[in-house]
Structure 1
Amino acid sequence: MNVFPQTEQPSLFGDDDLLSDSREPVLMSLNPIYYDLIWAGEKTHEFRRRFLTGQSVRWYVYLTGPVGRLGAVIDLGPAVVDVPEQIAEIAERTRTGNGASVLEYVRDLDRAFAIPILRVAEYPGMPLEQLRTELGGFHPPQGYTKLRNHPELLSICEKVTADSPSREMTVLGR
């Protein structure tokens, strides 16, 4: 039994506003190379071609191959939405040399997204085959999946992250 009402339950990070119900839970895939850059303090934003606007997000992370595992949560601030050149400038400021590749990624768009990474927590997780067994099939998302539209998948994500994280950190933006 949960002794705290949902809106009063203390957060893992001590910032209850960030972890309130108003944050949109999403599932997105991430290449392990970029995940490692977050832990190294070199990646402070996630760059996307399309994303949610005007809200904070709780990102349940599916790490792509060779890892193939659901096992992290990244708290994201509201996205900066701007023309590709400005998004590439954010990428360059946060990690020298990254602006060119981000610009190439978003060049053909009218607007792109730079999403600030606030916190990351890692859990033992659930491998791809177990996800497929528990859900009766699972395909890692290409973009993002709003988990409120997929309650069974949200339940699995919450189950995977219910215990204490094996490591966690606050990401300091540049």
Structure 2
Amino acid sequence: MRVLLSIKPEHVENIRRGTKTFEFRRRIFARRDVQTVLIYCTRPVSRLIGEFDIADILEDEPEALWASTAGGSGISKDFFDAYFEGRLRGYALQIGALRIYDEPICPSDWFDNFTPPQSYMYVAAAEACCPPPRQLAML
């Protein structure tokens, strides 16, 4: 099972560069069989730009989560604190193998009536197929 996550362009760039090895979330998907994340880069890009395997999912109170992920956060402590303000728990998806597509994909090529999710969206294999191998570049 895969999920599609909406991620802002600056964070996508940090994921690409390898400075962001954790993707933080206030909510996590209920299904535990999710292994891969499709990366939807939000406006102005508005494209599926790649995917990554989930190496691990960390759950903890925000301060403890920061202590264990700061080196791969790709964000400032102030940004982290603002994001998790008022939350008792937080989640960090550890980014495993990253595959960036050679050409970004318009979501409407894969999904009927696509609307970017606020948090996440489950993607069954039949809903979206992987791009042809020539479109995948291992990082």
Q: What's the TM-score bracket when you normalise by the shorter of the two chains?
A: 0.7 to 0.9
Using the TM superposition, give the Cα deviation of residue 166 of structure 1 relative to its aligned residue in structure 2, in angstroms. 4.3
Give the distance between the partners of 1:97 and 1:33, measured in 2 at CA: 10
Whichever of the two has the greater Rg, that structure is 1
Cα root mean square deviation, aligned: 2.4
Partner residue in 2 for 1:163: 133
State TM-score, norm by structure 1.
0.68
Q: Is the 8 A contact 1:74 1:120 kept in 2?
A: yes
Distance 1:47 1:101, change over 3 A: same
> What stretches of structure 2 of length at least 5 have no aligned partner?
none
Q: Secondary structure at 2:82's aligned position in 1? A: helix
**Greater relative contact order (Cα 8 A, min sep 6): structure 1 or 2?**
2
Match 1:85 to one of 33, 47, 63: 63
Does 1:106 pair with 2:76? no
Separation in 1 of the partners of 2:58 and 2:28?
A: 10
> Which of 108, 113, 118 is matched with 1:137 structurally?
113
CA distance in 1, matches of 2:73, 2:82: 16
Aligned to 1:65: 43
* TM superposition score normalised by structure 2: 0.82
Report what 1:116 is aligned to: 94
Aligned residue among 35, 47, 66 for 2:24: 47
Q: Which structure has greater strand proportion? A: 2
How far apart, CA to CA, are the structure 2 residues paired with 1:168 and 1:55? 23
Q: Which runs of 5+ in 1 are unaligned?
A: 1-23, 149-153, 170-174
